[in-house]
Amino acid sequence: MDMQDGNVKMTQQTVDRAMNPSDAIERTIRVQTRDVTVHYGAKQALHGISIDIPERAVTSFIGPSGCGKSTFLRCINRMNDTIEGAKVGGTIKLDGEDIYDPQLDVVELRARIGMVFQRPNPFPKSIYDNVAYGPRIHGLTSSKADLDEVVVSSLRKAGLFEEVKDRLNEPGTGLSGGQQQRLCIARAMAVGPEVILMDEPCSALDPIATAIIEELIDELRENYTIVIVTHSMQQAARVSQKTAFFHLGNLIEEGVTEDIFTNPINKQTQDYIMGRIG
Amino acid sequence: MFGYLLLAILAFSIVAYFVGQATGKKFVAVNGAAIHSLPMYHGAYVAIWVGIPALILSILWIALQGSVIDGLLTSSLPSALTEGASSAQINLILSEIKNVAAGREFSVPTDEIRAAADSYLRWQDIARWAMVVAAISIMLLAMFFARTRLAPRFRARNGVEQIVGWMMITCAVIAVFVTIGIIGSLVFESLEFFKMVPVHEFLFGLRWEPQIAIRADQVAGNGAFGAVPVFLGTLVISFIAMLVAVPIGIFTAIYLVEYADDRLRNIVKPVLEILAGVPTVVYGFFAVLTVAPAVRNAGNLLGIATSPNSALAAGAVMGIMIIPFISSLSDDALVAVPRSMRDGSMAMGATRAETMTKVLLPAALPGIMGGVLLALSRAIGETMIVVMAAGLIATLNINPLDSVTTVTVQIVSLLIGDTSFDNPKTLAAFALGLVLFLVTLALNVIALNIVRRFREQYE
């Protein structure tokens, strides 16, 4: 019961903040989750997460390791389906449509919600084939020229085209870590998703590559709804407009990024931001 | 006698261990933590010094004793017997002496032989006792020597570790030398064969009729040693085996890795391992008594002429035998593809099948290829199934319903019955064996290279 009250209060807060005229995130809600729980076997990993993810903005999930932020991210494109023993409860809606509806085709869903992983994971194929992978399996293009077009524009959007235009047929695994990660972003964008989920996309990269990816995320915000899980509070502060703080499988606090970092309401959030937990 | 000596060496070593350990414990009691090695290392140090030299001495003794006594015997024989005799004749005399000494008299021996047999027995006795005395004295000396070296700061541990290292090197070298020996014996006998039959005739000849006369009074063919039909038969049977094993093995692996739940996987994997553990002779029964008649009946029903020992039956059963090779190596290769590849593909909205065919299989292909090549070399060298289920007559045909023979079957049939090592019939077996060895060696090297390169990619 307490939990429930907490959630109600939290939602109230968000509404209060959203009412604030100076708020930068008064936008349409793209993804809406209510009381999402995840069990791995007997262990409960998430305890009733309710959050709204606004359109054309970057929402970041922060929190100490093992707090459930990645687990929650993987609920949004149903990647938890591939983990044996994982059970998801509650509702997650994309544009008002329940994504756990048995009628819904998970293949279509994942084409609408792209994902970028912690470690760059290009396939052991050429750069071209990596980007063309999605359009090919979904049959998005009808001719070679169309496909070329999609590959080039995706690479452009990921800011990689100029660096690789002369070696599209070389293996994607031969690129540097930062380039690989941008290749993975290009690969995700090639199927034309509306939402892009990023699971600590910079944790395996050096500071320069990280800066390039952060810049890219900022550009992509114009056209995509982005959710990013990050370990780095600075990164969350730099790239996101909305921030949610997770701890031990609970959503502790969420709100406009600036407010969370300058004026956190919850004691635990304060402690985390001051570096006392995690 | 040698057995007792080995027991004695063992007993002495154990005693030596406890002597050394007791000394070590005394050091601990007196010097405390300042000693260099633990008491057990002191014990092991003394035990090694006692055991190893004595063991080496007695093995060398046994190895050399025979030829030394033979030499003594030959020189002690009256010159009338040895004068002008070839070494083969002397060997005959020596073995007669030994037979007499052992009480196996085939004819009444001459007095010289009887006298020689007596001295042979006497010398053997002396040699035996001398060996025991030598071994025991070397053990006592070694125990004394090693014991005097022990001291609180003595580096017994380093000494023991060094000797253990040498022992391991010896073991590794033994395996290598045995391999070299096997190759050597194949090569030398094959060279003998190629003196009688030209290499090009063997490698490119189209007729294989090796059953020639060994003795003058035998009725047999004139002989032809063209190995092409034999290798063709091996090729046909191996091809059928791969046709059965590759798809079944790879699909099994795909199913187990990607589709089966843990419960089913835990049942199927051990069952496959049982399949790998069935003795090949049992597969042979299965081929002869079950599969071959079934193939024949099926052929008769369809009105196709089918041989009772068709290549199809032998090949199919061989294929079943090598399924576990392919499935377990493919399984390993697929599991070794990082989870991030699978996730990457699934997150793009690919189905499981698309993920498998477009990402996992290409990534695992080198490992799978390695498994297939290893299985192929196993199929080519497989003997028991084909000896039981394939034919004996070498014919140039690739009809799977007909009877074919294989290299391994021919080697077995050439070495059964009368053999004589100055005759191409027997020596041909070694030439076949050499070629077979080279082929499977090449396949193994290629396969292991592919597998290794693949492993490096994801580490």
Task: Assess whether B261 and B399 both reside in one domain.
Answer: yes
Question: In B, which residues are within 8 Å of A123 by CB distance?
Answer: 341, 344-345, 359, 363
Q: Measured between CB atoms, which of A108, A124, A134 is closest to B348?
A: A134
Residue B159 lies in a domain: no
Q: Which of the listed residues B113, B136, B154 is the one where a domain comes to its end?
A: B154
Closest Cβ opposite residue B341 in set A107, A121, A137:
A121
Chain A residues whose CB is inside 8 A of the B346 CB are 79, 82, 110
Whether B172 is covered by a domain: the verdict is no
What pLDDT was estimated at residue A2? 43
Q: How many CB pairs under 8 A join A and B?
A: 66
Instruction: List CB contacts (< 8 A) between B358 and chain A.
Output: 133, 137
pLDDT above 70 (res B435): yes
CB A191 to CB B362 under 8 A? no
Give the model confidence (pLDDT) of B225-258 as tens digits: 888 999 999 999 999 999 999 999 999 999 999 8
Q: Is residue B455's pLDDT more than 80?
A: no
The parent domain of residue B143 ranges over: 2-154
Same domain, B138 and B228: no
Is the distance from CB of A82 to CB of B341 less than 8 angstroms? no
What is d(CA A97, CA A108) in angstroms, rounded to the nearest whole number? 13
Domain with B436 in it: what CATH number?
Answer: 1.10.3720.10
Q: Share the mean pLDDT of chain B.
A: 87
Query: Which helix (H) or strand (E) segment is B68 a member of?
Result: helix B39-76
Q: How many domains does chain B have?
A: 2
Which tens digits make up the pLDDT trace of B143-169? 899 888 888 888 888 989 999 999 999
Q: Is residue B166 part of a domain?
A: no
**Closest Cα in chain A to B260:** A84
pTM of the model: 0.74
pLDDT of res. A166: 93
Token pair recorded at residue B114: 């009887």
Q: Are A255 and A240 in contact (CB under 8 A)?
A: no
Instruction: Tell me how far apart the alpha carbons of residues B50 and B163 are, in angstroms, rounded to a whole number.
Output: 13
- The string of pLDDT tens digits covering residues B60-91 is 998 898 888 888 888 887 777 777 777 778 88
Q: In sequence order, what are the residues at sequence separation of 6 or more whose Cβ sits closer than 8 angstroms to the Cβ of residue A16? A: none
Instruction: Identify the pLDDT of residue B366.
Output: 85
If you average pLDDT over residues B94-115, what whole number do you get?
A: 80
The superfamily CATH assigns to domain A2-121+194-273 is: P-loop containing nucleotide triphosphate hydrolases (3.40.50.300)
| Residue of B261, B343, B354 lying closest to A121 (CB–CB) | B343
Classify residue B164: in a domain, yes or no. no
Given this model, what pLDDT does residue A14 score? 47
Query: A184: which chain B residues are within 8 Å (Cβ-Cβ)?
Result: 344
| Rounded distance between C-alpha atoms, residue B139 and residue A247, angstroms | 71
Q: Do B341 and A137 touch (CB under 8 A)?
A: no
pLDDT score for B220: 60
The confidence score (pLDDT) of residue B112 equals 79
Q: Is B340 in contact with A117 (Cβ distance < 8 A)?
A: yes
Helix (H) or strand (E) holding B119: helix B111-149
ipTM greater than 0.85, yes or no? no
Output Rg (C-alpha) for chain B, integer angstroms.
Answer: 32
Take residue A97 and report the two structure tokens written for it: 């449509």
Do B321 and B385 belong to one domain?
A: yes
Count other C-beta atoms under 10 Å from residue B362's C-beta. 16
Place of tokens 């990402």: B359
Question: Does B285 reside within a domain?
Answer: yes
Give chain A positions within 8 Å (CB) of B362.
124-125
User: Helix (H) and strand (E) counts for chain A?
Assistant: 11, 10
Name the minimum distance, in Å, from the CA of B376 to any CA of chain A: 27
Q: Where are the alpha helices (DSSP H) in B255-383?
A: 262-277, 280-285, 292-302, 311-336, 339-347, 352-355, 361-381
Residue B37, in any domain of the structure:
yes
Inter-chain CB proximity A107 and B457 less than 8 Å: no
Q: Are residues B233 and B379 in the same domain?
A: yes
Check pLDDT > 90 for residue B434: yes
What pLDDT band is residue B206 in, cutting at 50, 70 and 90?
A: confident
Arithmetic mean of pLDDT, B433-438: 92
CA proximity to B155, closest of B40, B37, B18, B24: B37
Query: Residue B307: which residues within 8 A CB-CB, separation 6 or more?
Result: B296, B391, B401, B402, B403
Residue B353 has pLDDT above 60, yes or no: yes
Residues of A in contact with B265 (CB under 8 A): none
A83, A99, A121, best to mutate vs chain B, most B CBs in 10 Å: A121
pLDDT number for residue B217: 63
Q: What pLDDT shows up at residue A21?
A: 40
Closest residue to B347, CB basis, from A110, A122, A123: A110
Question: pLDDT tens-digit profile of B5-26?
Answer: 899 999 999 999 999 999 888 8
Nearest residue to B241 via CA among B61, B456, B404, B359: B404
Which regions in chain A score pLDDT beneath 70?
1-26, 277-278
CA B203, CA B95: separation in Å to the nearest integer? Answer: 42
> What burial letters (b/e) apply to A157-174, b meaning 16+ CB within 10 Å?
bbbbbebbeeebeeebbe
| Residue B261 forms contact with A (CB below 8 Å) | yes
User: What would the mean pLDDT of B198-208 be, rounded to a whole number?
Assistant: 88
Cβ atoms within 10 Å, residue A95: 14
Domain boundaries, chain A: 2-121+194-273
**Residue B392 and residue B246 in one domain:** yes
pLDDT of residue B457: 56
